[in-house]
Amino acid sequence: MDIMDTIKSQIEDNTILLYMKGSPNAPQCGFSQRASQALMECGQRFAYVDILSNPDIRANLPKYANWPTFPQLWVKGELVGGCDIITEMHTNGELKTLVEGAADQPEA
């Protein structure tokens, strides 16, 4: 499978997906730590991909997403944004509403 197909499949197959450096329990950068913490505080399960152990994804996701930085949060196939957007949405309550709404909807 082509790496772009792999990325597309990951995004389509996971309702809430965070591309990050490390894992939610062991983030490898401050931005990934803040983003995963905000997401965990919303109380919904989410998938993640450690881009440090997936160099092809790390190299190609910015082209696929047209978004140059990590972490990247995807909800229901749509790019939400990076750390600043995630933490701002968490602070004002929008992130919890978004992920709860996505988690409540049945898979298509």
Per-residue pLDDT of 42-57, as tens digits, reads 999 999 999 999 999 9
CATH number of 3-104: 3.40.30.10
The owner of tokens 């709404």 is 101
Q: Would you say 29 is a known binding-site residue? A: yes
Q: Would you say 84 is a known binding-site residue? A: yes
What's the predicted TM-score (pTM) here? 0.95
pLDDT band at 90 (very low <50, low <70, confident <90, very high): very high
The owner of tokens 């881009």 is 51
Dihedral (CA of 82, 59, 40, 46) sign: positive
Q: Would you say 83 is a known binding-site residue? A: yes
Q: Would you say 58 is a known binding-site residue? A: yes
pLDDT at 43: 95
Overall average pLDDT of the 9-35 stretch: 97
pLDDT at 104: 84
Domain boundary assignment for the chain: 3-104
